[in-house]
Structure 1
Amino acid sequence: MRIRGRTLSALLLATALGVSALSVDALTAAASAPSDAPAVRTADRSHAGHVMGASALPSADDADGDGYIPANPPVTGVTPSQAVPPPAYFHEFQANCSVTHTAPDDPIVYPGQPGASHDHTFMGNTSTNAHSTTASLTNGPTTCSAPADSSAYWMPSLYNGDRKILPVGPQVIYYKSGVTDYRSVRPFPTGLRFVVGSPAQTAQEFRSHKGFVEGWECGDSFFNVDIPASCPSRPDVQLNIRFQAPSCWNGLHLDTPDHKSHMAYPVVKPGTNDNMCPASHPVALPMIEFKMAFPVNGDMSQVRLSSGRGYSFHYDFFNAWEERTLKALVDHCVVGGLQCDTRGYDQNHPERGAVLNADHRLP
């Protein structure tokens, strides 16, 4: 049921405090600097942001500021698939994107409020800022491999002491099936946005999170809930983290006040090992998985996130793909049961061809 009204939204947001308070970043005027230069910070906001008690401001996407952005049209009448598809070990493609800028902004949690959040590192759409909307992101410039991916991706910035550590080069962002019946996965609706994890989560909540894959890792150290105190000082060693997003959608909202409740993780079908979407969120969408690499090693005792300890890691996604291209990649790679690269090509099945041409564009 859709509840409207700013007062109720504020109550819902306050209720979500510490559980679903997540970050979305934005670009300030300093984002006009070169893409490899972090924006100038006017204050230390390392623990600011994501205080969810205040209502969102009205925006082009959420005119009344109540936090609910309805899907237009909504997707209804869907029953979660319990079918068992033909065997396919992989059903994914990559949408790799490089860092664009950093800023203490959050267009999802704090729309229209530059500087309200802790610092974030942005990838993908180069125009992302506190005022970003579906319209402003659509067809925008991007650092993703496919020019059609104008989506915004961001996460808390990483520091070694006071020095900001930015990932170098394209970062791996998987789009894969989170449900057993990969044939039931459909593309993201334009304008869908959500947050994954929470800056307020405890170490145990981070470890038990449904999106937890391997935690923080470096060298031969894996499954760390917090950032390791040290890593081998070798050129080939970086700090890595992998984290998966929910992939089941309620079909009704592009966003909700807590930026989470319109999405859910798959559940296990009783009596099986098969994953399916819950009845409350019956629409299967791609499961995003961040696989980030930070160029830092050696003494890690001063390495932290702008949101706090390593277990405060979280990230945000705001979909602005060109619809035809995203559908072509999802249909060919995810629904088609392939392990695709950024062009939608599976080297183990060359006979299936590629989705995108050499310029990563849909022919």
Structure 2
Amino acid sequence: MQWATLAAGAALLAPAAAQQMLRFPCSQLVVERTDPLVNPGMKYTPHLHQIVGGDAFNVTMDPNTDLAKQSKCTSCSYTQDKSNYWTAVMFFKAKNGTYTRVPQIGNGGPQGKLHNSGGLDLYYIPSGKVTAFKKGFRMLAGNAGNTDPSKVKMSNICHRCWTSTSDTPFVGGAPCTGTDTVDIPSDPKCKMIRQTIIFPTCWDGVNLDSPDHQSHVAYGQGSGASGGGACPSTHPVKLPQIMYELMWDVSKFADKSLWPSDNSKPFVYSMNIGGPAAHGDYVFGWEGDSLQKAMDNGCTLNQACSKAGLTVQQPATYDACVKKQQAPEEVNGWLKELPVGEKAIKA
């Protein structure tokens, strides 16, 4: 089924849309201060992340390890996907200077509602013939230290203000178009904020990683969630386009009297920085060649696909795949300060 057909009436994508895409939910595996991509081996990394995927996730993540064989479960709906995906956590800053995590809910849209317990929705969008990621592949999208929205291409990382607590009916066009912004919206009319992170789709064909976790990949000529477009000669191998979507429920913070009196932003990520610092990390961990077969055989949405051997778990099963914090600290409830540097302190 073509995405253009699925999105009829919602104008999700241009007619050149991919013929199919995997679109599936992943619940939270753990929320903790680890980052085996940027800070391997470190506990209590500079900021907090939410991690989803296979439970083989650990502080070091040896690239020679086959995550699919080491994971006993995955918090994603596809049983064969033991990859790990993680992002920063959004916090609300109150007038008295305390912070609390913004709740997350499942994302809907023209393709239907997905169930998550926290976490995010995953997309793998092919455009023509694509080469699936290899064992040991990893990459990073975005810059956790960036404060300048002009340094972010809005078609790759963006936020959308939802003025209702329901995303049905779906309102708006393709991800990262229209009124979407790089900054996190600061408008009491917003009841939900959707965050989108789109990864590069072109690979140099040699390196599974690079020192900055970005140089071995590149964005193609396409824009937004289109599958990526033509690749540059430096990065000639076309990859499936990975997109993260997260729905932050800000409805209980809509009363502006709760907001900071110094006119600072009410919503920040766990680095204590706003939307320009949004970022996502990816470590590949699909079983065998299941992802390549899924891309080659038109597997689509959150559906079982016998041609690729893909099976779908029920929400109760993938919700139950959780992991104890490897850097233990209490990050729920109201905090005096964000957990950066020192351990989190309860308000």
Task: Provide TM-score, normalisation by structure 2.
Answer: 0.65
Q: Within 1, Cα distance between the matches of 2:81 and 2:268? A: 30
Distance 1:88 1:266 in 2: 15
The counterpart of 2:179, out of the listed 222, 226, 238, is 222
Is contact 1:239–1:294 with CA below 8 Å preserved after alignment? yes
Structure 1 counterpart of 2:102: 165
d(CA) in 2 for partners of 1:253, 1:226:
32
Write the mapping of 1:91-130 to structure 2, written as runs, cut at 5 A. 91-130=20-59
**Cα pair distance change 1:252/1:104, threshold 3 Å:** same
In the TM superposition, residue 107 of structure 1 has moved relative to its aligned partner by 0.3
Corresponding position of 1:203: 149
Q: Please give the root-mean-square deviation of Cα atoms over the aligned residues, in Å.
A: 2.8
Map of 2:79 onto structure 1 = 147
Pick from 132, 137, 141 the counterpart of residue 187 of structure 1: 132
Counterpart residue identity of residue 280, structure 1: T
Amino acid at match of 1:216: R
Shift of 1:89: 5.0
Contact 1:165 1:294 in 2 (8 A): yes
Q: Which amino acid aligns with 1:203?
A: P
Q: Is the 8 A contact 1:329 1:344 kept in 2?
A: no
Residue 163 of structure 1: CA displacement?
Answer: 1.1
Structure-2 change in CA distance of 1:248 and 1:296 (3 Å): same
CA distance in 1, matches of 2:290, 2:137: 16
Name the CA distance, whole Å, in 2 between partners of 1:241 and 1:313.
9
Q: Distance in 2 between matches of 1:285 and 1:222?
A: 28
Summarize the Cα distance change of 1:138–1:263 in structure 2 as closer, same or farther, 3 Å threshold: same
Structure-2 separation of matches of 1:327 and 1:309: 36
Residue 163 to residue 359, structure 1, CA distance change in 2 (3 Å): closer
1:41 match: none
Do residues 325 (structure 1) and 276 (structure 2) align?
no
2:132/2:292 contact within 8 Å kept: yes
The separation in 1 between residues aligned to 2:180 and 2:128, in whole angstroms, is 31
Note the C-alpha offset of 1:152: 0.6
For residues 211 and 225 of structure 1, do their structure 2 counterparts lie closer, same or farther at Cα, with a shift above 3 Å needed? closer
**Structure 1 residues 187-246: Cα deviation after superposition (integer angstroms, max 9, x where no partner):** 11111101001122311112x35513x53322279312222223437xxx4211122100
Distance in 2 (CA, whole Å) between partners of 1:311 and 1:88 is 27
Secondary structure (helix, strand or coil) at the match of 1:195 reads strand
Read off the aligned partner of 1:198 and give its amino acid letter: N
Alpha-carbon separation, structure 1, partners of 2:28 and 2:312: 22
Q: Measure the CA separation in 2 of the matches of 1:174 and 1:109.
A: 23
- Please point out which of 294, 303, 314 is paired with 2:267: 303
Task: Find the counterpart in structure 2 of residue 29 from structure 1.
Answer: none
* Structure 2 counterpart of 1:158, one-letter code: M
Q: Does structure 2 retain, via aligned residues, the 8 Å contact 1:192–1:318? A: yes
8 Å contact from structure 1 (residues 99, 166) kept in 2: no
- The Cα shift of 1:99 comes to 1.3
- 5+ long unaligned stretches in structure 2: 1-14, 94-98, 106-114, 164-170, 172-177, 223-227, 260-264, 315-347
- SS of corresponding position for 1:225: coil
Q: Is the 8 A contact 1:99 1:143 kept in 2?
A: yes
Aligned length: 250
**Residue of structure 1 in register with 2:88 after alignment:** 156
Equivalent position of 2:237 in the other structure: 283
Q: CA deviation at 1:100?
A: 1.5
> Which structure 1 residue ranges, 5 or more long, are not aligned?
1-85, 269-273, 346-351
